[in-house]
Structure 1
Amino acid sequence: MSSQTDIPGVTPYEGAAGGWGALRAVAKAISGQLAIGRETAALRRMNQPDGFDCPGCAWPDPKHTSSFEFCENGAKAVSWEATAKRAKPEFFQANTVTALWQLSDYALEGLGRLTHPMMYDRASDKYVAIGWDEAMQHIGTALRALPDPRMAEFYTSGRTSNEAAFLYQAFVREYGSNNFPDCSNMCHEATSVGLPQSIGVGKGTVTLDDFDHCDAVFCIGHNPGTNHPRMLATLREVAKRNVPIVAINPLPERGLERFTSPQSPVEMMTGGETPLATTYYQVRCGGDLAVLKGMMKWLIDSDAADLAAGGPGLLDRTFIEENTTGFEALAADVQATAWPDIERKSGLSRADIEHAASIYAQAKRVIVCYGMGITQHRHGTQNVQQLANLLMLRGNLGREGAGICPLRGHSNVQGDRTVGITEKPDAALIEGMKLAFGFDTPPEHGHDAVAAIKAIRDGESKALICLGGNLAVAMSDPEATFAAMRKLDLAVHIATKLNRSHLIIAKQSIILPCLGRSEIDLQAEGPQSITVEDSMSMVHASQGGLKPASEHLRSEPWIVAQMAKATLPATRVAWDHLVADYDRIRDKIEVVFPAFYDFNRRVREPGGFRLFIAASERKWNTPDGKARFLVAPGIEEDDGLDNGTLVLTTVRSHDQYNTTIYSLNDRYRGISGRRDVIFMHADDLAARGLKHGDRIVVETVKAERTRSVSGFTAVAYPIARGTVAMYYPEGNGLIGLDDHDPQSGTPSYKSVPVRVRNA
């Protein structure tokens, strides 16, 4: 940053990621929730073999955990959940929904834990407490009254356990619907759609141990310091081995640059730090496809030159010939792509891209890690597939120390999909459900998140059940989304805290308070554990130890079972029997999904077990049994836009997890007490007659219609030229429901063509 002191709340941050700043933030988060004893007890159990899984990111646990096996943002997530603050019925009696709507999202969730089932009373404009039986009666009656089960939408948040998610999809499928919009639709759906077409599985192929054996790591489109901080310890160990770490990202992220480990007494006491990225390329937002094609172009050309000179070549021909199809088409495509176009689109020089490719070529074992900077584009699926192409050129799949590593956000978003949260049931799932429960699953595809909002908008769907999350705020196009959700006949939200989605009132609006992951889940046959799956397909148990925040809280599996009983009078499922002992739910999961064989025994082993990932063993579950090089024609995402157009990306602040705002600070970017900023390169500001500190208007450049947001302050920042960044969800109003990847349906949160001007 430059000249930051003249704007309130904008000051350069000079330190490393982690360090004393992280410890101070942990202490502040805990004290701010007024439950120091309760929260510290929870932290001692978090990510331990006999404790509960962090409700934050999905980075895996090491084999040998320490007593301090949590990161700064994990501590924030736990303090947020284990807070002493309560939103009791008396609070709702004193505050109308109209008044609550005026509060910020940060203030709403800061009110504390929900304690009772609540139902909206239109006469008083207030939520009032009701009993569980009454709540279920209202839900069951409303769902049964729909002319068609497909007129209901069933949303799932990634914090949901395997057990709750499995019961949820069983309930909905017996009801007669496959409408499963979920948070994966908004983040890694491009992975779930793109990788199966390439390598036969929609998951990563690496394990945590692979980082001990790699010769290079490429970090593309992600920010570990904020979104998966425990990854920093892994990258630190990689860097200590002098293994190159190549970062490709539009913004300079401190968590990719350098790290002071809070678990290293030497670094903490001496102020030491570990440099991470050996090379940092600031790609123009939306230019990843161009960079990847440029790297592959150099590899293929250099391979040919090496062969001509009598060398062995740079490509792994044995791997390509034995394991893949489509190489010739890929080679023709990248060789036909001109370097001037690659440079213009990527914002990088040919020399930079060739240098990155040479690092890749010199390493025998390469891991590519990527996040939503790759997936949340209109060509997100193609981005993912080009990463797979790059790895296949040198045989970096199914090899120790190598592979593809999608970085999932929420702690069980991958597990939810594994146990059936999908709008596209395949034949195996349909057959498995019949075998496990004896009913027929509807075969047709249901709605993803974008399709669900459109169906609600168009009056085709009249009910919405949300198993966690804050769907209205997370979705693109809040103007359309909010208006659509106000047309619902029924809205049900299963949640731990109040959020804005709960205040978008339907004809009937109900809030059902659930247990947090850190709390004891006591069912008819004793305390229960749930299971989760991390980003590397490890499945492990999680058992809370805290007294629940209210005696009226219920577990998500229990709530799902009660909704099913209230809705399906002739159900084929023994809901109460399953919920009494979650081992029985896991037995049913094993029937439907054989990969979970011997589930209850294996999950009780320390650290759990890894699901079989065929591509990790060079087995390709594709139609022809081969991994496939897939061509992405062209490199343009914004054809026809003039040279004055910028590309906007939305980003999370450091004190944020998805739509949850822990504070108004963004420490590593030097922002405190505010979120009304837009990050721009100083040259981009000057070219438009703007300067650091100006109030500006941001407008979209689309034929459909112009969208705009105003009241934001320009902050000169060392971001890539041609790229601007705003916080999520503040920037969501610039993204229409139709602005998404056509293959995966993922909204294009990170590729919004815009212009900026003075307010």
Structure 2
Amino acid sequence: MANRRDVPGVRPYDGPAGGWGALRATAQAVHEQMDSFKAPITLMRTNQPDGFDCPGCAWPDKEHRSTFQFCENGAKAVTWEATNKRVTPDFFAGNTVSSLRMLSDYELEDKGRLTHPLVYDRATDTFRAVEWEAAFARIGEILRGISPQQVEFYTSGRASNEAAYLYQLFAREYGTNNFPDCSNMCHEPTSVGLPQSIGIGKGTVSLEDFDSCELIISIGHNPGTNHPRMMGTLHEASRRGVPILVFNPLRERALERFADPQNWLEMATYGSTQIASTYYQVDGGGDAAALLGIIKALLAMDAEGQNVLDHDFIQAHTEGFEDFAAGVAATSWEDIEKASGLARADLEQVAIAYAKSNATIVTYGMGITQHNKGTANVRLIADLLLLRGNFGKPGAGICPLRGHSNVQGNRTVGITEKPSDSFLAQMENEFGFKLPREHGHDAVQAMQAMIDGTAKALICLGGNFAVALPDPEQSFPAMAKLDLSVHIGTKLNRTHLLVAKETYVFPCLGRTELDMQASGPQSVTVEDSMSMVHASVGKLTPASEQLRSEPAIIAGMANATLPNSKVPWLDLITDYDKIRDLIDRTIPGFEAFNERIRTPGGFRLPLPPTERKWTTPTGKAMFSVYGGVKEDADVLGGKNVLRLITLRSHDQYNTTIYALDDRYRGVFGRRDVLFMNEDDLAANGLEHGDLVDIETLLPGRPLRLEKITAIAYSIAKGSVGAYYPEANVLVPLDYIDKESGTPSYKSVPVRVVRSKGS
């Protein structure tokens, strides 16, 4: 350690998460993007009843709000959107698309807000301004000449309920269920696995449950960066003595120490609060084994007469327990330890802590879902909770941590490639036309159709589709095969530059901006990760008079594409209450939508498991059987095989990179690093600071990332970490969870070698 060489841009960061470091970073973001007068007023409206919903994470709002309801990364998201910087037609006239592709993702978005609708001019290799109605007319003409099954409708989780509902209605009246969605790349295993287990693909806890829980088990997430407002909740739980058991391959600062910027004593004394009472560095991909180890220990305790299972609950509310228990019994401790990287004694201690708790919450993120067995991982968490009846009682339940602020709401109002018969019947009853029944494409399937040349058009409601997906060597060139691509967004990104034969980029209003329609100012709604639906109202003057709202852009395209439509597209956007009336009549749980959304804080959608009601085919919660631990042990424990985990930096949200620092991990001004355990460095003949090449060890094309700097870090032995999306070059497009279709961005088997000539 003492003799470790200095590596440019890599140095220890000793401060806690939050605290003065967060305040300095917030001030810096404000300084770089907004004027000093507008910024404070804007930030104070964030997540307030009469303000706008933060475009960042989906953590719910407190019922009794404190002075401010934004965090460091929320402030970055707001100032990034509300920036003073503009990208005008003059900018594009002076910059070819080919030259813009040479810029980094950070540099592209940092140029500022788009101001005019644009069309790609192939003759000059530039984007030029285009009139809205002319663009809509041409898009409609192209779409009418293509089979609906050859068109992909992508959705980002930042879209409001109103926009998402119109979008799915447009695509389905057009004739397709092709809905590649950002959730396909993150929490689809939740949407697939939880309905099998408990009958609904959502979490079951409320914010109030964290006030009465007795134990929190945190698996596979980094809240300080990816859902920072959760830190306040964990901070409060820790200070009242709730044990927080963390399973994560990397030591993440926010799960170790946190200083709440709203706690005057911590700020005045430079103090902090310990978050994790115990930290288990599970191997990348070893989550299933770790969960089975806890369950195996629990079942053994019960067999010894300790009566730690809730047998009454299991008998009355579940099915499949006997097969589940037999599968656990057949799993050896040797394989569990090998696959998880954790000792039997540690997992037995977790089982003891769990048995003592009368109300347990399990929180999890993409460290659970972005695996080739992500759905099985989710179901094992549900199994663990079912064993002690931790559903339908205060302080207990399952808590998937969603990313985008409305990724869950999009799914609720119909953004799915696999719509239910009941949903389609309700829509047909309301609108009077037949909707397609054939299941459509998810995100990976959509890209595969583009690579094959069978997809002819892509329409993106937000997002950075090609960059978010794995394997850019295949994904990026596939965009050029399309006849048409359309992108709705606030800023320029790389996917916009991967132009089709005809490409349009439409600038839309952001969450912070005033949405004025014929009937007056409009609000939109979002659903947070705990099923609360609430209103969002922007107040800022739009970045350009040319901007249109997402609902207005969707309605304009639909009206031009479907001349004989029974839907009054242009009338619906005069007053968004009309859209909400349609949602009210077609989506269960939204009854009296317009009335209830006007209540500060909104309302909660029905969650049957909270009442111990199970909307599964059997009417009961279902245990699962996981039989792959030996396979996991053989693969994860293979000689000279490391498991790659893709990571977001602290200055990043999904594919949006706010700056080049990763403060809590001690990386500054760069992203070309590979986090490695010191033992793995030594075993591979490497030292901290060496340039290395990474090669994926999977059948098919060789995938490599070259000349990246290996740095020593506290990460589970056998696991390595690199930044997303740069490391997507190492993730095969078809390396997915077969049940959900989610790419395995985590635990990709790789080999690391010293770069030639270094």
Normalising to structure 2: TM-score of the pair? 0.98
Letter in 2 for 1:483: P
In the other structure, the counterpart of 2:480 is: 486
Shift of 1:370: 0.1
In the other structure, the counterpart of 1:156 is: 155
In the other structure, the counterpart of 1:89 is: 89
Partners of 1:703 and 1:737 lie apart in 2 by 12
In the other structure, the counterpart of 2:496 is: 502
Partners of 2:265 and 2:253 lie apart in 1 by 20
Quick check: 1:156–1:469 contact (8 Å CA) kept in 2?
yes
In the other structure, the counterpart of 1:443 is: 437
In the other structure, the counterpart of 1:646 is: 642
Letter in 1 for 2:107: A
Which segment is superposed worse, 110-119 or 629-638?
Answer: 629-638
2:692 is the alignment partner of 1:693: no
In the other structure, the counterpart of 2:345 is: 351
Partners of 1:729 and 1:575 lie apart in 2 by 37
Partners of 1:740 and 1:694 lie apart in 2 by 31
Out of 715, 729, 747, the residue aligned to residue 733 of structure 1 is 729
**Structure 2 gap ranges (5+):** none
Quick check: 1:39–1:83 contact (8 Å CA) kept in 2?
no
Residues 288-316 of structure 1: per-residue CA shift (max 9 Å, x gap): 0000000000000110102xxxx5x1000
Residues 659-680 of structure 1: per-residue CA shift (max 9 Å, x gap): 0000000000000000000000
Letter in 1 for 2:53: D
2:427 is the alignment partner of 1:433: yes
Distance 1:384 1:640, change over 3 A: closer
In the other structure, the counterpart of 1:714 is: 710
Residues 688-739 of structure 1: per-residue CA shift (max 9 Å, x gap): 1001000000001112232110020000001000000000001101111110
Shift of 1:632: 1.4
In the other structure, the counterpart of 2:109 is: 109
Quick check: 1:485–1:506 contact (8 Å CA) kept in 2?
yes
Shift of 1:329: 0.7
Structure 2 matches for 1:39-438, cutoff 5 A?
Answer: 39-146=39-146, 148-306=147-305, 311=306, 313-438=307-432
Quick check: 1:701–1:754 contact (8 Å CA) kept in 2?
yes
Shift of 1:4: 6.4
Letter in 2 for 1:84: N
Quick check: 1:5–1:11 contact (8 Å CA) kept in 2?
no
Distance 1:3 1:352, change over 3 A: farther
2:625 is the alignment partner of 1:626: no
Out of 511, 516, 522, the residue aligned to residue 522 of structure 1 is 516
Aligned to 2:694, the other structure's residue is in SS state strand
Shift of 1:539: 0.2
Quick check: 2:650–2:664 contact (8 Å CA) kept in 1?
yes
Distance 1:757 1:49, change over 3 A: same
Aligned to 2:589, the other structure's residue is in SS state helix
Quick check: 1:154–1:181 contact (8 Å CA) kept in 2?
yes
Distance 1:654 1:240, change over 3 A: same
Aligned to 2:626, the other structure's residue is in SS state coil
Quick check: 1:221–1:372 contact (8 Å CA) kept in 2?
yes
Letter in 1 for 2:646: T
Aligned to 1:486, the other structure's residue is in SS state helix
Shift of 1:606: 1.1
2:471 is the alignment partner of 1:471: no
Partners of 1:546 and 1:41 lie apart in 2 by 10
Aligned to 1:69, the other structure's residue is in SS state coil
Partners of 2:123 and 2:570 lie apart in 1 by 36
In the other structure, the counterpart of 1:460 is: 454
In the other structure, the counterpart of 1:26 is: 26
Quick check: 2:5–2:689 contact (8 Å CA) kept in 1?
no
Partners of 1:294 and 1:587 lie apart in 2 by 49
Shift of 1:3: 6.2
Out of 655, 661, 686, the residue aligned to residue 665 of structure 1 is 661
Quick check: 2:336–2:633 contact (8 Å CA) kept in 1?
no
Residues 386-437 of structure 1: per-residue CA shift (max 9 Å, x gap): 0000000000011110000000000000000000000011111111111221
Partners of 1:45 and 1:69 lie apart in 2 by 8
Partners of 1:509 and 1:637 lie apart in 2 by 44
Which segment is superposed worse, 728-737 or 32-41?
Answer: 32-41
Letter in 1 for 2:575: D
2:570 is the alignment partner of 1:576: yes
In the other structure, the counterpart of 1:745 is: 741
Distance 1:184 1:4, change over 3 A: farther
Distance 1:563 1:4, change over 3 A: farther
Shift of 1:40: 2.2
Distance 1:59 1:171, change over 3 A: same
Aligned to 1:295, the other structure's residue is in SS state helix
Aligned to 1:531, the other structure's residue is in SS state strand
Shift of 1:34: 3.9
Out of 537, 547, 550, the residue aligned to residue 556 of structure 1 is 550
Partners of 1:571 and 1:138 lie apart in 2 by 17
Aligned to 2:573, the other structure's residue is in SS state helix
Partners of 2:532 and 2:632 lie apart in 1 by 36
Partners of 1:3 and 1:658 lie apart in 2 by 36
Which segment is superposed worse, 170-179 or 40-49?
Answer: 40-49
Partners of 2:187 and 2:302 lie apart in 1 by 33
Aligned to 1:51, the other structure's residue is in SS state coil
Aligned to 2:208, the other structure's residue is in SS state helix
Partners of 1:36 and 1:513 lie apart in 2 by 25
Partners of 2:3 and 2:236 lie apart in 1 by 35
Which segment is superposed worse, 5-14 or 749-758?
Answer: 5-14
2:719 is the alignment partner of 1:723: yes
Shift of 1:272: 1.1
Quick check: 2:339–2:633 contact (8 Å CA) kept in 1?
no
Partners of 1:3 and 1:484 lie apart in 2 by 48
Quick check: 1:4–1:11 contact (8 Å CA) kept in 2?
no
Superposed CA RMSD in Å reads 1.0
Partners of 1:529 and 1:284 lie apart in 2 by 45
Aligned to 2:538, the other structure's residue is in SS state coil
Quick check: 1:4–1:12 contact (8 Å CA) kept in 2?
no
Aligned to 1:155, the other structure's residue is in SS state strand
Normalising to structure 1: TM-score of the pair? 0.98
Distance 1:3 1:371, change over 3 A: farther
Partners of 2:114 and 2:699 lie apart in 1 by 44
Partners of 2:284 and 2:331 lie apart in 1 by 19
Partners of 2:293 and 2:672 lie apart in 1 by 36
Residues 610-641 of structure 1: per-residue CA shift (max 9 Å, x gap): 00001111100000100000111121347457
Partners of 1:15 and 1:622 lie apart in 2 by 47
Partners of 2:488 and 2:35 lie apart in 1 by 24
Partners of 1:192 and 1:2 lie apart in 2 by 48
